[in-house]
Each structure stands twice: as C-alpha cells, then as structure tokens.
A and B are shown apart, each in its own frame.
Chain A
Amino acid sequence: MVQDISYVNQKRRLFHSYTFRLALLYAIMFSTSTLIIFYFFYLFTASYMTEQMDNTIQAEIQGLAERYNQEGLNGLTELIAERVNRQQATGNSIYLLTTYRLEPLVGNLDRWPKNAQINDDWLEFKLEINEQTNETHLARAKIFRLPGSYGLLVGRDINQLTEAKRRIIQALTWGLAMMVLLAFLGGLVLSRRTVRKIERINQTAQSIMSGDLSKRVPLTNRNDDFDQVADNLNQMLDRIQALMEDIRRVSDNIAHDLRTPLARLRQHLEEARLQEPASSKSAQNLEQSIREADSLLVTFNALLRIARIEAGQLTTGFTQIDYRTFLEDIVEFYEPLMEDKYQTLETGLDTHILSWGDRDLLFQALANLIENAIKYTPEKGNISLTLTRHVDDVIITISDNGPGIPESEYENVFRRFYRLDQSRTASGNGLGLSMVAAVISMHNGDIALNNNRPGLKIQITLPVTKPSPITKT
C-alpha cells in the first residue's frame, strides 16, 4: 500500500519534473528539425530522380529525331517498331506515332491518352496496364507535331519513380517515428536519473526537518554539478548544525548559570524561613517569596524545556508506548479532580495501539490538556477522551463542553506566554499549550482545535512509528 503510493508519487514527480519537461521540449525541437531535414532530402532526391527520368526521355527523343532527319517518316516508323519490339512488355518506354487525327500508326500505346495534363511542357497521364484489375501507372511524355500533322508521343512509365518516392517517404516516416520515440525515452531516462538525484536531496531535507540534523546528502564522487549542489548543501547543514549546537550549549549554560543563583536565592529564603517560628508574619512572607521563586523557576524551566524539545534533542527518551494503557493512566490520575468538580468523563479507549515516543513528555502534554479541560469546564460539565486509529495514525481527541476558545484565537493559543483575556486571572504561565505543541511536533504529529459547540475539541494526530536505528540506544 505504502509502496504503491510512493510509486505513484514518484511517477507524478517524474512527469512534473523540470528535467522531464526540458527533455520533452528538446525531443520536440529535435524532431521538428529532423522533419525539416527529411523534407529537403526528399525534395532534392525526388527532383533529381525526375530529372534523370526526363534526361532519358530526352535521349530517346534525340535518337528518334536524328533518324527522322536522315530517313524521314519511314525511318522513324521503323525505329519505333524496332524499339518497341526490343523492349517487349518489360520496358518502360512509351512510343506512339499517330495520324493528324491522332489515330495510332505505330507504337506500344493503344491510343492517344485521354485526361492528360500538360505540366511544364510535359504530358502526364494514366497508363492502363491491366483492364481487369484496373491497374494504372503514371506516365510522363513529350509530344511533337511532325510535318504532315503526324503526332508523336515519346515518354516513360514512371511507376518505378513514384514507387521509389513512396518508399522514401515511408522510410523517412518510420525513421521520424523511431526518433521521436527514442527522444522521448531518452528524456524519460535522463529525467529519471535527475529526479532520483533530487529525490536523494529531498529525503535528506525531510529527515533533517523531522529532527535528525546529522543527515547529509550522499555524494557520488563524480564531482558533477549535482555533487557540487549537494556539497554546498552539506556545508550549509554543517553550519546550521554548529549553530544549533551553539544554541543548545548557550541554553545549557543559561540553565546552569542562571538557575544556580536562583537556586541559591531559594536556599537562602528557605534557611531564613526555618529560623522563624512557623506562625510569625515574616515566616509567612518568606513562604510567599519561596512560592514566587518556585513559579519563576517553573516558568524558566518550561521555557528551556520547550526550546530543547523544539531543537529536537530529546529523542533519546523514546520508548514503546501502548496508547490505551497510557491514556488509562492519565484518566486514572485525573479522575479524582473531575469527581471533585462533579464533571463526567466519557472515554472511548477501545484499541491498543503500540507506537514509539517519549512517554514522560507525552504524558506532560496530555496532562496539560486534561488539566485545562478540568480547569475551564464548569462543575457538572462533560469531558471526553477518545483514542482511535486511522490507517497509520493515532488520533486522540479531548473535548469538553466548557466555554471553549473563540475561533479567532485558535492560532494564537500555541504562542509562548499567550493568554486569553478571560484566563489572565487563572493560575498558569501561558506556556502549557506551547509545550504541548512542541511535544506533538517533536513526535511529527499534528494538533488541531475545533469548536465542540459548545466547548473545545482538541484533536491530536500522531504517526504510528517503529523504533528507528537513531533512537535505539
């Protein structure tokens, strides 16, 4: 199934490829120019052959004329009879001598041709060869009026010539067809090779986009222009990877350098708190300060965590997850909170789906969503959680019938620190959904918000994956 799709995709990509279009254009241009060459070739060959034929007829006429000049009409008649006899039925020459009323006297033509056409001093007409089969040949001849109004026709059956011309046209047509076919096939082969090379670059780009920055475009050692492009891309990737590592190092350093003083601040507050009697005013102030420091640290940690998830550095935590058990754990964990708000939970968790992912991060993401649903759905509201499988995707939906989110805000809520006006007063740091989005995209999944009329319906789509060699540790 998957192979079929990729096969079709490959085909589609091939015919849409720039190289293929280029090859097609080239084939058309090549065929057109060949057609022109063939046309001139035919034109010159055909006129040469006609000329040869005409020369032969002229030579015959020359011979006849000489005899006529020497021996008069009798000599001419004899010569014609002699020539007709000599060539019998096999020859191509045509002779006819007629009276002034065009009645045949001597020659191998029964009668003066009908429906003849005069073309450049030449008479062209149809020669009946076989009356039963209606077989006719084309003939070409010159006519003369001799003194005494005798008519003379000297010509040739040009069937061989037309046959030769027909053959030439046939040969050229076949040749042209073969050439168009070859040009098309050549274009196909050429563009397939190019598409394959581009495909390799594409695949690398795709695995990089899904987080594996260490991938590089393979080189072929031929040092052609594709290798140069690939080499440049690889150098660019090296640079990006170095920059990403810099960012990671910087954020790790921030984590260490900024969190340490914050931690010390908290330590001092805690020490001070322990020295005060629990009920004193300053103890309460100190406890308040510790809580503030804690929430600062939570926000700070969440930011760093999102940054690191987005940098795709956390795939080492991937394990196999059974989504049904996983969601049952979440339900079990949050059920008491819902019961306290008299909320009812509907679950549709019928299928076991095994996939690969970071269970702690996914738990965090789904916990954030469930906590939101519990927080914003009023008492006695409904919350539902479903798990389904659609081809190669896990689909998890979380819906509630609370106040929901205005549709115009769907895009915004995933932004960091973004909070809807009505939730500003509620606790939270505006990072919960950013974290969810980062975790889902790290798993190559998708999250969509929909109006549940009333309420919010969140749909998460995650691909069912198997462990890849990179994530296996």
Chain B
Amino acid sequence: MRILIIEDDTATATYIQKGLIEAGHTVDTAARGDDGLALAMGEHYQALIVDRMLPGLDGLSLVSTLREQNNNTPTLILSALGEVDDRVEGLRMGGDDYLTKPFSFSELLARLGALVRRTTTETKATVLQVGELTMDLLGREVKREGQVIDLQPREFRLLEYLMRHSNQIVTRTMLLENVWDYNFDPQTNVIDVHISRLRSKIDKSFSYQLLNTIRGAGYILRESKA
C-alpha cells in the first residue's frame, strides 16, 4: 500500500514511517501542509495520515480542500487535541477517522487497515463468513460448524464488526466508537468482559479459538489456527 504522511514533527513522522515500512508499505512524507496537499493531489495514495496542526496549511483545511477536488483518498487525522468537538469537527471536514496523540503504533495500524478496507470493499453482502463461522445479516442468525449460536443484540453487533474486520487487529477504542457508538474512556476492563462473553459463545465448545486477544493492542478474529 502506498501511504503519505503529512506531519511536521520529525520524530513522530519517522516513527510512523519506520513502522509502516516494516509492515510492508511504501511511505512518502511531507512536513508542511501545502507541500502535503500538492503531493496528495499529484500522486496516487491508498491512504493519508495528516496531522492537524501543520505549518503552511492546517490539516483540516488540507482535507477539506482535497474533498472539494473530489479526491476521496481515505484519511486518518492525527492530533494532540483529543476533545470530542475537535474530533467531530475533524470528521465533518472530511477526515475518515481521527486518532489522538499519543497513540500506540498498533492502534494506528489497526485504524488504517479498517479505513482502507471500509473504502475499498464496502461490501453489500448479506452473509459474512470467517472460517466456518457465518453470520446471516438478514435472518440475524449466527452459526459455527452448522450449529446455531444465540447472541444478544449487542453481541451480534460486536461480532459483526469483528467479522467485517477479520484478520485485522481491532482496538478497544475502535469497538467503543463503532459498536457502542460512544466516545469515552472506561476506567475498567469492561470491553474485555464483553469480549470474553462473546468468546465463550463462539469459541468455547469448538476445536480452536477464532477470537484472539493481542496483548497491548486489541483483538483479532482470525480465520485459521495461528
């Protein structure tokens, strides 16, 4: 994947660049907003990572200019301003996701993955499948190895999100924002409790575990034994 990082803080830019290259991506960087805009318009990238506060042109204006030009490259906005209204503003100006500094690299990678998948394969399938686990979105029915699994409505939404992002790390905040639709910081391990409940339903009586915890990062629904 070809990715452009627009970030004036060299340490952060290098850190992201290094991590993305290690993950197998091609990376360009720009330290100024106006330079970044020119690159984003001229070249073809699969994703943009844009800092909010930039010299030359600020991140939000950059994104809204791109969108006005009908350039819909998936964009992740980075910022030290983590307040809710900043976030809302960032998304309204055309950003696809918003990440507050500091972030762990796994969080960035997970969100970037979700972002690109969301825009490239906006699937209209009515049945989701991961390994022998299937979800019928119309019949609201989940089966593993032909066996019907009974889920609460919220567990259904949680599993749906995990299945749409299978083989991809999903972080706790991504789950909070997308499954529960609230943006806040629980001080407890309540998400882990929800996950372990779901896991006991979809994994407990089966040969291997689909839903895995990645320490310090989040969760992954994997198709095969790893």
- On whether the beta carbons of B187 and A267 are closer than 8 Å, the reply is no
Which of A267, A301, A371 meets B82, CB within 8 Å? A301
Q: Tell me, in angstroms, the Cα distance from A13 to B103 when the chains sit together.
A: 56
Q: Smallest CB–CB gap between B18 and chain A, Å?
A: 8
- Which residues of chain B have C-beta atoms less than 8 A from A333's C-beta? 180, 190
Q: Tell me, in angstroms, the Cα distance from A465 to B198 when the chains sit together.
A: 39
Q: Smallest CB–CB gap between B202 and chain A, Å?
A: 16
* Residue among B80, B154, B180, B186 with max Cβ neighbours from chain A (10 Å): B80
Q: Tell me, in angstroms, the Cα distance from A293 to B102 when the chains sit together.
A: 10
- Which residues of chain A have C-beta atoms less than 8 A from B85's C-beta? 313-314, 316-317
- Which residues of chain B have C-beta atoms less than 8 A from A364's C-beta? 184-185
Which of B18, B101, B187 meets A260, CB within 8 Å? B101
- On whether the beta carbons of B105 and A267 are closer than 8 Å, the reply is yes
Residue-by-residue, is B138-160 near A (CB-CB < 8 Å gives 1, otherwise 0)?
00000000000000001000000
Whether A358 touches B84, Cβ cut-off 8 Å, given contacts A267-B102, A363-B182, is: yes
- On whether the beta carbons of A263 and B12 are closer than 8 Å, the reply is yes
- B15 at the A/B interface (Cβ < 8 Å)? yes
Residues B1-49 near A (CB distance < 8 A): 9, 11-12, 15, 18
Whether A367 touches B186, Cβ cut-off 8 Å, given contacts A267-B11, A336-B193, is: yes
Residues A343-388 near B (CB distance < 8 A): 358-361, 363-364, 367-368, 371, 374-375
Residue-by-residue, is B58-89 near A (CB-CB < 8 Å gives 1, otherwise 0)?
00000000000000000000001111110011
- Dominant SS among interface residues on chain B: loop
Q: Tell me, in angstroms, the Cα distance from A394 to B186 when the chains sit together.
A: 24
Q: Tell me, in angstroms, the Cα distance from A336 to B101 when the chains sit together.
A: 30
- Which residues of chain B have C-beta atoms less than 8 A from A264's C-beta? 9, 11-12, 15, 102
Whether A267 touches B83, Cβ cut-off 8 Å, given contacts A287-B216, A336-B194, A428-B187, is: no
- On whether the beta carbons of A259 and B80 are closer than 8 Å, the reply is yes
Whether A271 touches B15, Cβ cut-off 8 Å, given contacts A252-B81, A260-B9, A337-B188, is: yes
- On whether the beta carbons of B183 and A360 are closer than 8 Å, the reply is yes
Band of interface residues on A: 35 or more
Residue-by-residue, is B85-116 near A (CB-CB < 8 Å gives 1, otherwise 0)?
10011000000000001111100000000000
- On whether the beta carbons of A336 and B197 are closer than 8 Å, the reply is yes
Q: Smallest CB–CB gap between B158 and chain A, Å?
A: 11
Q: Tell me, in angstroms, the Cα distance from A305 to B105 when the chains sit together.
A: 24
Q: Tell me, in angstroms, the Cα distance from A256 to B9 when the chains sit together.
A: 11
- A290 at the A/B interface (Cβ < 8 Å)? yes
Residues A112-164 near B (CB distance < 8 A): none
Which of B15, B84, B102, B105 meets A360, CB within 8 Å? B84
* Residue among A259, A293, A428 with max Cβ neighbours from chain B (10 Å): A259
Q: Find the B residue at minimum CB distance from A266.
A: B102
- Dominant SS among interface residues on chain A: helix
- A334 at the A/B interface (Cβ < 8 Å)? yes
Q: Find the A residue at minimum CB distance from B194.
A: A336
- On whether the beta carbons of A375 and B101 are closer than 8 Å, the reply is no
Q: Tell me, in angstroms, the Cα distance from A388 to B11 when the chains sit together.
A: 52
- Which residues of chain B have C-beta atoms less than 8 A from A363's C-beta? 182, 184
Q: Find the A residue at minimum CB distance from B190.
A: A337
Whether A256 touches B185, Cβ cut-off 8 Å, given contacts A317-B85, A333-B190, is: no
- On whether the beta carbons of A374 and B188 are closer than 8 Å, the reply is yes
- On whether the beta carbons of A260 and B12 are closer than 8 Å, the reply is yes
Q: Find the A residue at minimum CB distance from B191.
A: A333
Q: Find the B residue at minimum CB distance from A273.
A: B216
Which of A317, A332, A336, A374 meets B84, CB within 8 Å? A317
Q: Tell me, in angstroms, the Cα distance from A270 to B215 when the chains sit together.
A: 13
Q: Smallest CB–CB gap between A294 and chain B, Å?
A: 8
Q: Tell me, in angstroms, the Cα distance from A435 to B89 when the chains sit together.
A: 22
- B53 at the A/B interface (Cβ < 8 Å)? yes
- A308 at the A/B interface (Cβ < 8 Å)? yes
- Which residues of chain B have C-beta atoms less than 8 A from A371's C-beta? 186-188, 190
* Residue among B9, B180, B187, B188 with max Cβ neighbours from chain A (10 Å): B187
Q: Tell me, in angstroms, the Cα distance from A255 to B101 when the chains sit together.
A: 10
Q: Find the B residue at minimum CB distance from A309.
A: B83
Q: Tell me, in angstroms, the Cα distance from A157 to B67 when the chains sit together.
A: 110
Q: Tell me, in angstroms, the Cα distance from A360 to B83 when the chains sit together.
A: 10
- A180 at the A/B interface (Cβ < 8 Å)? no
Q: Find the B residue at minimum CB distance from A334.
A: B190
- A224 at the A/B interface (Cβ < 8 Å)? no
- On whether the beta carbons of A297 and B186 are closer than 8 Å, the reply is no
- Which residues of chain B have C-beta atoms less than 8 A from A287's C-beta? 216
- Which residues of chain B have C-beta atoms less than 8 A from A266's C-beta? 102, 104
Residues A306-321 near B (CB distance < 8 A): 308, 313-314, 316-317
Residues A243-278 near B (CB distance < 8 A): 252, 255-256, 259-260, 262-264, 266-267, 270-271
- Which residues of chain B have C-beta atoms less than 8 A from A271's C-beta? 15, 18
- On whether the beta carbons of A267 and B84 are closer than 8 Å, the reply is no
- On whether the beta carbons of A263 and B185 are closer than 8 Å, the reply is no
- A432 at the A/B interface (Cβ < 8 Å)? yes
A residues near B (Cβ < 8 Å) are 252, 255-256, 259-260, 262-264, 266-267, 270-271, 287, 290, 293, 297-298, 301, 305, 308, 313-314, 316-317, 329, 332-334, 336-337, 340, 358-361, 363-364, 367-368, 371, 374-375, 427-428, 432
Given contacts A263-B102, A363-B184, could you give 12 more A-B pairs where the C-beta distance is less than 8 Å?
A259-B101, A260-B101, A264-B12, A314-B85, A316-B89, A317-B88, A340-B193, A360-B84, A360-B184, A361-B84, A367-B184, A371-B190
18 A–B contacts, CB within 8 A, in A order: A256-B53, A259-B101, A260-B80, A263-B12, A264-B9, A264-B11, A264-B15, A266-B102, A290-B104, A290-B216, A301-B82, A317-B88, A333-B190, A337-B188, A361-B84, A364-B185, A367-B184, A374-B188
